Amino acid sequence: MNAPYVLHYAPDNASLVIRLVLLEMGQPFETQLVNRACNEQDSVAYRALNPNGLIPVLVTPQGPIFETAAILLWLSETHRQMAPAPGVSERAAFLKWLFFVSNTVHTDLRILFYAEKYISTNQAETLRACIRPRLRGHLQLLDAEAANKPDWLRGDQPSVLSYYIACLMRWMALYPIGADRSWFQISETPHLQMILAQLESRPATLAATEAEGLGATPFISPTHANPPEGSAT
């Protein structure tokens, strides 16, 4: 590959987090569309990169990496950017919240979006009704932490976690399409809202917005993606 990295992506999927971080870091990369419209994520070629068939995969000189948090952590350590370095006092707090976002918030959000994959179809809405207040609680915890203004959770000097949270909140406001989303009110988390507003003016966000058709206000008042290629679902 000509660039050091190839990002296998679909518009407005978890790969968006990785795209934003690569752009923020100034790291050159190429993109390879994973066409969800024809279930390309289930192809033999893609499963060879990620046997779970999930997006994203980042192909690196050391081989392919999957799982969003793993890619973020690897990039921050490799390039010594956008996260407290190992040995720094803030490292422990950063790690615990990174994995809270990955293992708890993102996981619960996936259940909200794809409840039918976890439970019978006739019980899916009941499961979603249980997940929504959990997600609101997660956001309240994150907002309380953002109120402390740690260096690793800012919008003016973003960390990998800043972009991860911003994308998750974008998706909370948009998906599932046609479902009740009145439970999500960005104004309930004012400290996170300020971070998202700051991120929207970042060159990385502007570049990602153009590449994936995310609209003028991708985090604060998002609209459904209108990508130049591929499909978000």
Closest CA to 53 of 34, 29, 70: 34
**How far apart, in Å, are the Cα atoms of 104 and each of 52, 97, 101, 112, 214?**
19, 10, 6, 12, 25
Question: Which pTM value belongs to this model?
Answer: 0.96
Domains and CATH numbers, the chain: 5-79 (3.40.30.10), 91-202 (1.20.1050)
Given a contact cutoff of 8 angstroms between Cβ atoms, the answer to whether 76 and 83 are in contact is: yes
What does the alpha-carbon distance between residue 177 and residue 34 come to, in Å, rounded to a whole number?
Answer: 21
Phi, psi of 86 (to 5 degrees): -55, 135
Residue 202: its pLDDT value, please?
98
- Sheet with 63-66: strands ordered across: 29-33, 5-9, 57-60, 63-66
Using the 8-state DSSP alphabet, how is residue 42 labeled?
G
Residue 188: its pLDDT value, please?
97
pLDDT along the chain (233 residues), means of 10: 88 98 98 93 95 97 97 98 96 98 97 93 93 97 98 97 98 90 95 98 98 97 94 81
For 214-218, the CB contacts below 8 A with 24+ separation are: 214/12, 214/16, 214/170, 218/170
Q: Which residue in this structure is represented by tokens 């990602």?
A: 208
Phi, psi of 62 (to 5 degrees): -95, 0
Residue 179: its pLDDT value, please?
83
Where would I find the beta strands (DSSP E) of the chain?
Answer: 5-9, 29-33, 57-60, 63-66
Structure tokens at 27: 């790291």
**How far apart, in Å, are the Cα atoms of 7 and each of 32, 179, 182?**
6, 30, 33
Residue 26: its pLDDT value, please?
98
Residue 131: its pLDDT value, please?
96
What does the alpha-carbon distance between residue 23 and residue 204 come to, in Å, rounded to a whole number?
Answer: 5
